[in-house]
Amino acid sequence: TQLLEQSPQFLSIQEGENLTVYCNSSSVFSSLQWYRQEPGEGPVLLVTVVTGGEVKKLKRLTFQFGDARKDSSLHITAAQPGDTGLYLCAGLQGAQKLVFGQGTRLTINP
């Protein structure tokens, strides 16, 4: 069973559209990280959210941590082809162990 459920698993939209990716769990995490992965490379950290209800913005990307620290969302405004990639959420268990979601494969069509 997957501790962190990401949805959707696949998303293909046109350039300029908005989108939201969800990361849900029944478990509470002390923090949650979002990574982006390009083909042939390892994941790279985008952001860490720590406090329940926290919102962080990274240019056109907005990340939110749920009030109960069980879920998170990633919203992209005016998506661009350069946003194409695999987006992974990961919850922190204990001091250092991360539990990853299945990932959302995002394709932005020109």
Partner 1 sequence: NAGVTQTPKFRVLKTGQSMTLLCAQDMNHEYMYWYRQDPGMGLRLIHYSVGEGTTAKGEVPDGYNVSRLKKQNFLLGLESAAPSQTSVYFCASNLQVRGQPQHFGDGTRLSIL
Binding residues for partner 1 (CB under 8 A): 2, 4, 6, 9, 30-31, 33, 40-45, 48, 50, 88, 90, 92, 95-103
- Quote the least distance from Cβ 19 to partner 1, whole Å: 19
Q: Which is nearer to partner 1, 42 or 77 (CB)?
A: 42
Tokens for 51, please give them: 């406090």
Q: Which is nearer to partner 1, 33 or 64 (CB)?
A: 33
What does the alpha-carbon distance between residue 51 and residue 31 come to, in Å, rounded to a whole number? 7
- Quote the least distance from Cβ 66 to partner 1, whole Å: 17
Q: Which is nearer to partner 1, 18 or 93 (CB)?
A: 93
> 21: burial class by Cβ within 10 Å (0-12, 13-18, 19+)?
buried
